């Protein structure tokens, strides 16, 4: 069989793509993005790295439903938070039950912990999750109404060592994705004992400055004044510069806990930036809070988390200390692309099976399945009839070998194995296809 040299596949012009896009009736809902095959390598890298890092740090997988009772988030996240007030997708079922698309993952994990008595299986329980979250907000780059998170949770122990374990697993996750120096910002927001005093001091400070606050912060002043410290509006950030800091009002328990966290952070050679104005936007947080940033997106956190010792009580359970974090996967991919980080993939060498003629095509499925059943990743484009077009596809998918079978090869019980890099090809017996292929892939 005469094997022609393969050619590169021509790219579609922008005009052709634009014209083709008009030939359909529907588009994705605003703020909901498709994950396309061309982005597979980025998502696969995150899943592969996430699973590996999670298992190395002894976290077990948990998955909660996308739809939960709306009251779960109203009670756990906080009725006065932006998520509950403005961002949740809430609707009634046909049976009249008020439900919501989950806007975050921690409250559902704690609900599952309480419902299924997961504390009996391990104490503390260390779990990880990933999946879509939904928030109705203004869509922008790396911030979608449907977005994906990877989360780590440790439930059942109040020791500072677990705060730092969460920080370590997050940093391991990001470093495994090739982020060189992620920046950790850390703070404490106190507890039920010391935080009320701090809130009063903040109210006193902002009382005569309310006219300079943005509209959202004027509302937050009475409902959740800590959120004023988290506002990104320039006028509010300027006012924050002279606001009181919680470190001056911590009770002895919170002070000792935060000191222990920082000592462990330093003992583990973790570079960090203390940020006395760092808070988190959900009501269930207390004591340690943190965020992690990359150099390419200094204003947008790749991950954030902290301790949430009161969440179990808010959901009707007994007091249960816990700490956790979540990472935004779309934002991580954006940061990886901005820093030109190649997805760290461990891909198997690929084989491309080429069949020429009807008889070869009929026989090919048996041989393709035999290769795949023996762990050999086998690609094909059997719908293309010409040898040249199938070789182009083998080139495009960066196959190491092409296995070519035509009418004559079917009759003779043989196949041609072509090295796609060197162009060298040999004849082999089809009965020894798996054996010969594995030999050449080593």
DSSP string, 225-269: GGGGGG---HHHHHHHTTS--GGGS--HHHHHHHHHHHHHHHHTT
Task: Record the pTM.
Answer: 0.85
CATH assignment of 37-194+250-338?
Answer: 3.30.930.10
Residue 9: what pLDDT? 39
Residue 10: what pLDDT? 45
Number of Cβ within 10 Å of residue 36's Cβ equals 8
Residue ranges, comma separated, of all CATH 3.30.930.10 domains in the chain are 37-194+250-338
Residue 61 near residue 139 (C-beta atoms within 8 A): no
> What is the CATH architecture assignment of 350-441?
3-Layer(aba) Sandwich (3.40)
Q: What is the CA radius of gyration of the chain?
A: 28
The H-or-E segment that residue 73 falls in is helix 70-76
Nearest C-alpha neighbor of 68 from the set 127, 115, 29, 31: 115
Residue 8: what pLDDT? 41
Residue 13: what pLDDT? 55
Burial (CB count within 10 angstroms: exposed 0-12, middle 13-18, buried 19+), residue 437: buried
Nearest C-alpha neighbor of 165 from the set 180, 176, 177, 155: 155
Residue ranges, comma separated, of all CATH 3.40.50.800 domains in the chain are 350-441
Residue 190 near residue 246 (C-beta atoms within 8 A): yes
Q: Do strands 303-307 and 322-328 pair parallel, antiparallel, or not at all (unpaired)?
A: antiparallel
The 10s digit of each residue's pLDDT in 266-325 is 999 999 999 999 988 777 899 999 999 998 887 789 999 999 999 999 999 999 999 999
Residue 312: what pLDDT? 95
Residue 367 to residue 359: CA distance in whole angstroms = 13
Low-confidence residues of the chain: pLDDT under 70: 1-23, 80, 141-142, 345-346
Angle of helix 160-176 relative to helix 252-267, nearest 10 degrees, comes to: 40
């Amino acid at each position: 069989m005469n094997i022609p040299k393969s050619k590169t596949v021509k790219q579609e012009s922008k005009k052709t793509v634009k014209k083709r896009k008009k030939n359909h009736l529907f588009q994705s809902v605003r703020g909901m993005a498709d994950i396309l095959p061309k982005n597979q390598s980025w998502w696969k890298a995150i899943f592969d790295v996430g699973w590996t890092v999670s298992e190395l740090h002894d976290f077990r997988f948990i998955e909660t439903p996308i739809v939960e009772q709306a009251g779960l988030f109203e009670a756990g996240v906080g009725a006065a938070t932006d998520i509950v007030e403005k961002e949740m997708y809430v609707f009634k079922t046909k049976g009249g039950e008020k439900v919501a698309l989950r806007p975050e993952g921690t409250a559902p994990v704690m609900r599952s912990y309480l419902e299924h008595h997961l504390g009996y299986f391990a104490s503390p329980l260390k779990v990880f999750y990933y999946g879509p979250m939904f928030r109705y907000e203004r869509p922008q780059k790396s911030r979608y109404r449907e977005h994906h998170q990877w989360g780590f949770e440790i439930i059942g122990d109040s020791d500072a060592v677990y705060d730092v374990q969460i920080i370590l697993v997050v940093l391991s996750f990001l470093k495994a994705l090739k982020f060189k120096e992620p920046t950790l910002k850390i703070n404490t927001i106190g507890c039920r004992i010391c935080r009320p005093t701090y809130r009063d001091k903040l109210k006193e400070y902002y009382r005569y400055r309310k006219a300079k606050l943005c509209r959202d912060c004027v509302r937050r002043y009475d409902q959740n004044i800590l959120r004023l410290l988290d506002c990104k509006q320039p006028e509010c950030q300027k006012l924050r510069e002279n606001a009181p800091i919680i470190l001056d009002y911590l009770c002895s328990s919170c002070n000792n806990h935060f000191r222990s966290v920082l000592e462990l952070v330093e003992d583990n050679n973790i570079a960090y930036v203390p940020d006395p104005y760092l808070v988190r936007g959900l009501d269930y947080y207390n004591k340690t809070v943190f965020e992690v940033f990359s150099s390419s997106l200094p204003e947008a956190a790749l991950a954030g988390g902290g301790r949430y010792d009161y969440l179990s009580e808010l959901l009707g359970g007994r007091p249960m200390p816990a700490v956790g974090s979540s990472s935004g996967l779309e934002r991580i991919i954006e940061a990886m692309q901005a820093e030109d980080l190649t997805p760290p993939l461990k891909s198997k060498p690929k084989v491309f099976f080429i069949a020429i003629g009807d008889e070869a095509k009929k026989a090919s499925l048996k041989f393709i399945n035999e290769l795949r059943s023996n762990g050999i990743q086998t690609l094909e484009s059997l719908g293309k009839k010409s040898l040249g077009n199938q070789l182009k596809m083998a080139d495009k998918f960066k196959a190491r070998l092409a296995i070519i079978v035509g009418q004559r090869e079917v009759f003779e019980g043989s196949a041609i194995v072509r090295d796609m890099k060197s162009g060298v090809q040999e004849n082999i017996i089809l009965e020894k296809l798996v054996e010969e292929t594995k030999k050449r892939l080593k």
